[in-house]
Chain A
Amino acid sequence: MPGPLLNVRNLIKHFPLPRSPVDLVRRRAPERVHAVDGVSFALDRGRTLGLVGESGCGKSTLGRCVLRLYRPDAGEMWYEDVDLARLDERGLLPYRKRMQVVLQDPYSSLDPRQTVGSALLEVLAVHAIGTPQDRPERVAQLLAQVGLRPHDARKYPGEFSGGQRQRIGIARALAVGPELLIADEPVSALDVSIQAQILALMLDLRRSLGLTMIFISHDLRVVRYLSDEVAVMYLGKIVEHAPAADLFARPRHPYTLALLAAIPEVGDDPKPAVEIRGEPTSAVHLPGGCRFHPRCPWKVDRCLTEAPELRELAEGHRVACHEARA
């Protein structure tokens, strides 16, 4: 059995903030947003990792680091036996084909004056996939794969609804035949009935193409639907990472419990009894000790000074909390 497809070790990505004139004069170092601040996880081939957390927790930054749209400040990202973090643009080229991304708003990444068909042809040509003769056939296949019709290739992005545009976004990602698909809030902008259609499509494609996926979302309900395992992020760190069934059946980090309790569920489920107050602390001035302690209902003295490491409390179930129990 080969190792994981992706193995991320202690990944760090900070963004410096612009300095005020006073800071410039005093030569103070710029303040930093600790977007991703020491994240480690491994993802096996064919599995889907759901990455959840609220705005500003670093989940999108993490995704962009893996895609090497950002260069991480420190840490390793092993893709099989190559550390993506160390590669230059040239070295990354083959991985641009093996990894693809689906974004929340595909419209912003589609050229409004280019037909969908020609956009897809361009992707195939750039990556030298197939011959010019059989590329149109491949485009038709791609469109069919995402539930669009062949003649949709002649239309412009503006002629499609939001849900259809997301199908185009998916087709474009699939065009190069990627192994790893990173989907960043792919259904967040869609109406619920359309969202369900796209989720069903992604589930279907993942099975039929054997994709490995990182599915980034703020919505635990959506993540639940697609993920084999789930990592919950808070202020730049993973606070809990477990097989999906386990995480939802027995969440162990107080933040995960609170997230679950806050979900407006349609069903009649009894809610777990953790309620958190206040808002996340800023990712610039992080609290000492555990980052969650200012909002945590379980906090003890130790949490104020000592940052908890991820500990394995059950098989494959890692939790970063001093008070969490197996």
Chain B
Amino acid sequence: MTELALSVEGLSVEIPTRRGVVRAVRDVTFGVGPGEAVALVGESGSGKSMTCRAIMRLLHPPARITAGAVRFRGRDLVALAEPELERIRGQGIAMIFQDPTSALNPVLTIERQVAEVLPRGAGHRERIVELLRQVGITDAERRLKAYPHQLSGGQRQRVMLAIVLTRRPTVLLADEPTTALDVTIQAQILAELGRLQQELSMALVLVTHDLGVVRRTVHRVAVMYAGQIVELAPTDELFARPRHPYTVGLIGSVPSVDRSTPLTPIPGTPPDPIGLGEGCAFAPRCPIASAECLAAPIPLRPVGPGRVSRCIKADRVGSEWSAGAAAQRS
């Protein structure tokens, strides 16, 4: 095993509120190697974005890291002082967001914004144009003088990508980078992202709610539910044989153009993040749950080479789930 580019160990984030403490991220552990792409997948409130922000220490107070470590180049980012962290942000670990508008300066031209991060020297302008071309902006010359609002959402995301890539970061955290985009543009950006990641041998952490996006973009997938990773596996194996009931439900909920696969929705709704019990958070919606699922905290256990599941009935997930789900629907 090569050295991990980034390693998250036992990370927990809590948000105190008037109603009680929200345990937004609970004991999250995963790593990503150089040139590897790992996805954090889950629905709203699963803690995927919060994990991402916690890695960069970009949490909005009162949210705070309460436990865990983020190891990067032999140091723990959780314990690092702010000035040192500032040196890592951007060139060590970079991040792109769903809405690039908020990350771009509205009163500066694209040229200025890219120029700011590019070392000056001869052929400065040419290099900016080249960079914009690299991320798929076709009429780059003309776009130099444009302001962010004059670009489409897809183009803004490309500019963001260009800015991020000038620093050649070791790790790129991408938080729902294509969620706001049309599907043909999404496909282009994802392809671009994949290509650049390979070329620069970057480690990529992709946060998304869309299992379809994950399917063809990343090597490994971590599925999150109620702040925890409930399953982590190589992408193909996860889709071929999910080993957590939630993963099965999630895959069954995605409509497909191939209508032969019927939708099998998960009943119920995600739990209230305040006052989560010790047992399995998915149990109330799970068709194969029993009393023991709620009795004690359930650890992530190995269920195959390079894969873990937080289900005590992981071996039975699949056949029994479908039967149980069918029974629940009828």
- Contact A55–B182 (Cβ < 8 Å): yes
Measured between alpha carbons, how far is A224 from B255 in the docked complex, in Å?
Answer: 8
Chain A interface size, under 10 / 10 to 19 / 20 to 34 / 35 or more: 35 or more
- Contact B269–A266 (Cβ < 8 Å): no
Stretch of B75-83, B210-218, B286-294 lying at the A interface: B210-218
Measured between alpha carbons, how far is A262 from B250 in the docked complex, in Å?
Answer: 21
- Contact A221–B182 (Cβ < 8 Å): no
In the complex, whether B154 has a CB less than 8 A from a CB of chain A is: yes
In the assembled complex, the CB of B120 is this many whole angstroms from the nearest CB of chain A, namely 31
Stretch of B15-23, B165-173, B256-264 lying at the A interface: B256-264
Which of B239, B256, B266 is A193 in contact with, Cβ under 8 Å?
B266
In the complex, whether B122 has a CB less than 8 A from a CB of chain A is: no
Which of B187, B214, B252, B269 is A262 in contact with, Cβ under 8 Å?
B187
In the complex, whether B141 has a CB less than 8 A from a CB of chain A is: no
Measured between alpha carbons, how far is A263 from B254 in the docked complex, in Å?
Answer: 12
Best-buried of B138, B251, B256, B261 by chain A (most CB within 10 Å): B256
Measured between alpha carbons, how far is A275 from B184 in the docked complex, in Å?
Answer: 8
In the complex, whether B253 has a CB less than 8 A from a CB of chain A is: yes
Q: Which residues of B contact A248 (CB under 8 A)?
A: 257-259
Which of A192, A261, A263, A278 is B209 in contact with, Cβ under 8 Å?
A192
- Contact B216–A200 (Cβ < 8 Å): no
Measured between alpha carbons, how far is A261 from B154 in the docked complex, in Å?
Answer: 18
In the assembled complex, the CB of A64 is this many whole angstroms from the nearest CB of chain B, namely 20
A242-275 vs B, CB cutoff 8 Å, 1 = contact: the mask equals 0001001000000000111111111111000001
Q: Which residues of A contact B183 (CB under 8 A)?
A: 54, 218-220, 259, 262-264
- Contact B43–A192 (Cβ < 8 Å): yes
- Contact A193–B182 (Cβ < 8 Å): no
In the complex, whether A196 has a CB less than 8 A from a CB of chain B is: yes
Q: Which residues of A contact B253 (CB under 8 A)?
A: 192-193, 195-196
- Contact B256–A264 (Cβ < 8 Å): no
Best-buried of B44, B182, B239, B270 by chain A (most CB within 10 Å): B182
In the assembled complex, the CB of A33 is this many whole angstroms from the nearest CB of chain B, namely 15
Measured between alpha carbons, how far is A262 from B188 in the docked complex, in Å?
Answer: 8
A276-296 vs B, CB cutoff 8 Å, 1 = contact: the mask equals 111110000000000000000
Q: Which of A117-166 contact B (CB under 8 A)?
A: 161, 163-164
**Closest 4 pairs between A and B when the two form their complex, measured CB to CB:** A264-B212, A196-B265, A262-B187, A196-B253
* A contacts, CB < 8 Å to B: 54-55, 161, 163-164, 191-197, 199-200, 218-222, 224-225, 245, 248, 258-269, 275-280
Given contacts A161-B269, A265-B257, 13 further A-B contacts (CB under 8 A): A54-B185, A163-B269, A191-B44, A194-B43, A196-B263, A197-B266, A218-B182, A264-B186, A265-B215, A266-B211, A266-B254, A279-B154, A279-B185
27 A-B residue pairings within 8 Å (CB atoms): A54-B184, A164-B269, A192-B250, A192-B254, A193-B265, A194-B43, A195-B255, A196-B263, A196-B265, A199-B263, A218-B183, A221-B255, A224-B256, A225-B259, A225-B263, A248-B258, A258-B184, A262-B183, A262-B187, A263-B183, A263-B257, A264-B186, A267-B261, A269-B258, A277-B138, A277-B188, A279-B185
